[in-house]
A and B are shown apart, each in its own frame.
Chain A
Amino acid sequence: MSNESTPLTREFFSAAQPSPNAHIYTPVVGFGQLLFLAGKTSAKAPDPADVRSCTTYVLDEIEKELIAAGSSMQQVVKVTVYLRHIEEWAAMNEAYVGRFGANPPARTTIAAILPHESRVEIEVIAHR
């Protein structure tokens, strides 16, 4: 609850305490009602060679951050999905559909080369 005349400042959140790589980036930065999440990669997924396992793992990690910051998957407004292989788009979608609730966020999907040889990386903007 902020008084309208108080200037907005950034707030910082991390599901993992302490936040790994805290000197490089913050997992979640809040500004007013908006939350900007750092991308989550899939290198630590149960099966890092399977895009469905990777997508589910990445979305689970995002969900943890959103909850720790007082938000939820239903409050995500914009998603960017980065795939290592564009051909895995349909398989990624299978694991993606329904994860954000009945009214899915806006999304852009592209293929690119990702850190740690990840097959999927997802970043989101959400609201509180």
Chain B
Amino acid sequence: MTRRMLASSAVVIGAAALAPFARAAEKMRKKVLAYNPNATPKPPYSPAVAYGSLVFVSGKASYAASDPKDIRVCTKYALDELAKELKNAGSSMDNVLKVQVFLRNIDDYAAMNEIFSATFVKEPPTRTTVAAIIPRDSLVEIDAIAFI
């Protein structure tokens, strides 16, 4: 009788001790973000999503760059757009962990790298680069995972 009471008390105390962690885990929800919330047409995705201290940024493509045919201009544009989105999320380019770079032409790799390495100077993020066909004939698209 006594042992059973002790055991059930231990379960109750144990559950109560863990309750704050359980509540913290239950409360974490994703948060959708956009530095330009009035973009039209409304896209079928969120420009950024934060979860805890991580932020996931949708790919920034280069079709709206001032010279969409110049890979350097396009890369700078995509990275500037990324920086705006990160800043809006309370993060920054210094906090980027992982980047994916999609190039229309794999031969643009060196030129893209010039701009990329001038942007991520100290402790650059991890990165994977591939060539692919990108929406709206873009020369480059870049997405990122960062921390806040």
Q: Tell me the A residues contacting B by CB distance below 8 Å.
A: 1-4, 33-34, 75, 77-80, 86, 89, 93, 96-97, 103-112, 125, 127-128
Contact = CB atoms under 8 A, between A and B. Distances in A.
Interface stretch (B24-32, B64-72, B108-116): B24-32
B56 A78 contact: yes
Which residue, of A1, A103, A110, has the highest number of chain B Cβ atoms within 10 A?
A110
Which residue, of A3, A78, A127, A128, has the highest number of chain B Cβ atoms within 10 A?
A78
Nearest to B28: A33
Given A3-B18, A77-B49, A93-B44, A110 B28 contact: no
B interface residue count range (under 10 / 10 to 19 / 20 to 34 / 35 or more): 20 to 34
A33 B58 contact: no
Contacts of B145: 78
Contact of B21 (A1, A75, A127): A1
A77 B21 contact: no
Interface string B16-58: 0010011001001010100000000000111111011010111
A1 B18 contact: yes
10 contacts: A34-B51, A75-B30, A77-B30, A80-B100, A93-B44, A106-B47, A106-B56, A107-B59, A108-B100, A125-B56
Nearest to B33: A106
Contact of B46 (A4, A96, A105): A105
Which residue, of B30, B45, B48, B132, has the highest number of chain A Cβ atoms within 10 A?
B45
A2 B133 contact: no
Nearest to A113: B132
A79 B46 CA distance: 10
B135 A89 contact: yes
A104 B32 contact: yes
A112 B133 contact: yes
A104 B133 CA distance: 23
Nearest to A4: B21
Contact of A3 (B21, B51, B58): B21
A96 B44 contact: yes
A88 to B, nearest CB: 11
A113 to B, nearest CB: 9
Contacts of B59: 107-110
B49 to A, nearest CB: 5
A110 B102 contact: yes
A17 B141 CA distance: 37
Closest 7 CB pairs of A and B: A108-B59, A107-B45, A111-B133, A78-B56, A110-B132, A106-B58, A103-B32
